[in-house]
Amino acid sequence: MTLRIDLNCDLGEDVLVNRLPVELLIMPFISSANVACGRHAGNLASMHQTLQLARKHHVAVGVHPSYDDRLNFGRMSVKMTKAGLKDLLKAQILDLLKIAINEGVVIQHLKPHGALYNDAMIQQETADAIAETVAEILPHAHVFGLPESCMQNACKKTGVAFAAEAFADRAYDADGRLVARNKEGSLIHHTTEVIERCLLMVLENRIVSIDGKNIFFKPDTICLHGDGPNAPALSKALREALEEHHILVKPYAAI
């Protein structure tokens, strides 16, 4: 049986590498792009540009919504009512949807950003707000999230498709959650280590936690962050390593 994996990246976040938009450098090597919708980064112009590049490289497009928090890049939790969060999500989805229709691109998934992602994994009301909003506006789309989380449970309740996500360049706690970014060892920068971890995820369906414990699950998609200085080189090396091991890199919807 041929092994397949989706390789996704958070883009449209105003990141430059060697004075070039990181999207130009990463898009050829990924299969799904999570597009920032202006609340933590990006704007209407960057959304247009990212969607155009995704279409050119046959990369699947997803909404990457966040709390309204550009000051902290969406990495601080914001207390909101469920109704208020749904309104915020709808605004971001509709902003990207209008551009996608204009560009002839289909929005295939949604992945929350930063603190919103983390909150949706452990707060059922937050996860329910996301799943319900997707069901209302993008019923054909799927949601990326950690397995065995509130987000997966919310998708099950609402009938929204769920894709189990793993992170190439983030460390895990023994309980399968991401290590907080402010802790030492939370980010993995070495290319060889990232590649080894991803091959283990796909070939053996396991991740080794920061304290050496094996965590077993089958990822549908693997995230590689686009805001690191070595992200373009890492994305190229990872894509090449996956293909060398006869692993097809395809958008999740096509797997």
pLDDT confidence bin for 228, thresholds 50/70/90: confident
Q: What is the CATH number of the domain that holds 79?
A: 3.20.20.370
Residue 219 has pLDDT above 80, yes or no: yes
In whole angstroms, what separates CA 97 from the centre of its chain?
A: 18
Distance CA 222, CA 252 (A): 10
* Domains in the chain, number: 1
Residue 77 is part of which domain span? 3-254
53-57, 152-156, 185-189, 225-229: range with lowest mean pLDDT: 225-229
Distance CA 71, CA 129 (A): 24
Residue 255 has pLDDT above 70, yes or no: no
What is the reported pLDDT for 107? 97
Per-residue pLDDT tens digits for 110-124 = 999 999 999 999 999
Distance CA 159, CA 131 (A): 9
Per-residue pLDDT tens digits for 71-87 = 999 999 999 999 999 99
Long-range pairs, 96-100, Cβ under 8 A, ≥24: 96/35, 96/37, 96/47, 96/51, 96/61, 96/63, 97/137, 97/138, 99/44, 99/47, 99/48, 99/51, 100/51, 100/61
